[in-house]
Amino acid sequence: MTSARPDSTTRPGLAPIELVGRDERLRIDFPLALAPMAGISDRPFRQLCFDQGAGLVVNEMISSKPELRNTRKSEQRRIRPDDPEPRAVQLLGNEPHDLAEAARQAYRDGAQLIDLNLGCPAKKVCRKAAGSALMAEPDTVARLLEAAVEAVPCPVTLKMRTGPDEDWRNAPEIARIAEEAGIAMLSIHGRTRAQKYTGRAEYDTIARVVAERRIPVLANGDIESVDKAVEVLESTGAAGLMIGRAAFGRPWLFAQLRAALEGRTVPSEPGPVEVMGFVREQFENIYRHYGNVMGVRIARKHWGWYSSRLPIAEGTRKEFNRLETIESQRRWLDRREAELRSVSSPSAAPTA
């Protein structure tokens, strides 16, 4: 990416934070995090966002239910020793014993941080009284958090929303329960469960939690630009930021945010050839991680986000989704990249 001129406006920065667990401490040097997102924040995408400047990349959520813990999907999501540090795993569950066992397993796998999910608004999660549905059950939340904190020596964190709905924004209450249970950090999405991903995120509730609690808070929701990141930090006083949907097909957002918050020149948006470079890097890692069948399908999903940023006709973009093998996808991307390079190359100088 080329670089834009530095903004002369004084911007807030981010300081390292230390998370305190039952017996272990963990330092996050730069609290700019990739949110845990099922089907998105897999190992290939986490590595790419980490390389672009994210200081924390949280694994996709893993169910704590024993019957789901060792499925193929859960196996693919398990943390590995070569994952970027600090290695963070998010767990989903509504039963204290199962959640504690899943936390212990994740820690044995090499997790240095356990994150608990009170933020997912998906119907299939909430109808099982898990995810953001638990925001309406403070007593259950207390039991779950205490069980998880007691189960592992490493720090345990919590991802949550502002409340069940606009008439019950109980994030301050849940945050108090979390701090008393020994939770080391909170990440708060500025929407209620009822909102899902509609409407706008609000940050007043996050600011109240920051003011009332001693543990660090990451602000999350609608942070899609440097200006928005600065606005959210200033309005909430949060210790850091968590980026979710804004990073879809745009991992370089982390490089831009980190540069701005460190007072460096902010890289400009990448050109088409540079975007294709991100595509090729991520897709090769996808192929290695998932293999031929799943790798092809996962690549199609990410291509939808990347391709919207490329000057490629819609009909041509959709051709990619009909390809059935890794090699056919590679050859197709080779052709598109060659076309983009030929268009972006400066014209040859005229000869005398």
Structural contact between residues 94 and 135, judged by C-beta atoms closer than 8 angstroms: no
Name, in order, each residue with C-beta under 8 angstroms of 343's C-beta and a sequence gap of 6 or more: 272, 311
* Angstrom distance (rounded) from CA 8 to CA 17: 26
Name, in order, each residue with C-beta under 8 angstroms of 177's C-beta and a sequence gap of 6 or more: 138, 141, 142, 145
Secondary structure of residue 294 in the 3-state scheme: helix
Pairing mode, if any, of strands 17-20 and 25-28? Answer: antiparallel
Q: What angle do CA 60, 66, 68 make, to 5 degrees?
A: 50
User: Is the dihedral angle over the CA atoms 70, 72, 74, 77 positive or is it negative?
Assistant: positive
Structural contact between residues 1 and 269, judged by C-beta atoms closer than 8 angstroms: yes
120 flagged as catalytic: yes
- Residue listed under structure tokens 């850091």: 240
Q: With left for phi above 0 and alpha for psi between -120 and 50, is residue 48 left, alpha or beta?
A: alpha
Residue whose C-alpha is closest to residue 118's, from 147, 138, 98:
138
Q: Show the tokens assigned to 284.
A: 């090769």
Q: Which residues are catalytic?
A: 120
